[in-house]
Amino acid sequence: MTLADAAMTAGAAACIGARLAGAFARKGDELMSIDVAGNEWGVIVQHPDLLELRWLPSTASMTDGGFMATLCLFVWEAEKRRPRGLLIDAVEFHHRFSDGVLAWRDAHIIPRYGAAGVRRFAFLMPAGFPDAGKEAREGPAVFPTRWFVNRQEALAWLRAATS
């Protein structure tokens, strides 16, 4: 076995060990969030109590197909991890949808969030977003969605007890 093979084997074992030890890294006694998936347009972050999709500035050149692929990845992670809350950080989101994309989302993504056990959904939007503070049930959702411009307020709302 070469030194490179040994390093790769040790790295793979460490990854497997981390997965078996749990979903979160530890820093002292504090659980930390970890990136669990992503692509060129977004990063999916597992927090101890919720799942987040952080859109990246590269969404400026993303196609509708890229948007759909990223939402499919996010909902797949939600189905595996079954969080009660989802957060989409859209502060750096710059894509413009074509006709029919949001209808596709309502038909193919939103029901899967509900089936995954989601009970609250929050969007973090750029400062000045006109619908900040608005709450609604989007399309076929079985959970409320609320829009925020303050990250801490969004997290507090997601973590609040649900009825």
Third-level CATH fold of 33-159: Rossmann fold (3.40.50)
Statement: residue 16 has pLDDT above 90: no
pTM greater than 0.75: yes
Beta-carbon contacts of 144 under 8 Å, excluding residues fewer than 6 positions away, are 120, 121, 135, 136, 137
Extents of the domains making up the chain: 1-25, 33-159
Share of the chain above pLDDT 70, in %: 79
The HSE-up count of residue 12 (CA atoms within 13 Å, CB side) is 6
Between CA 66 and CA 56 the distance in angstroms is 12
Indicate if the pLDDT at residue 43 is higher than 70: yes
- Identity (one letter) of the amino acid at 104? W
**20, pLDDT greater than 50:** no
Handedness of CA 121, 81, 141, 99 (dihedral sign): positive
Q: What mean pLDDT comes out for the span 148-155? A: 97
* Distance from C-alpha of 47 to C-alpha of 87, rounded to nearest angstrom: 10
What value does the mean pLDDT take over residues 89-94?
98
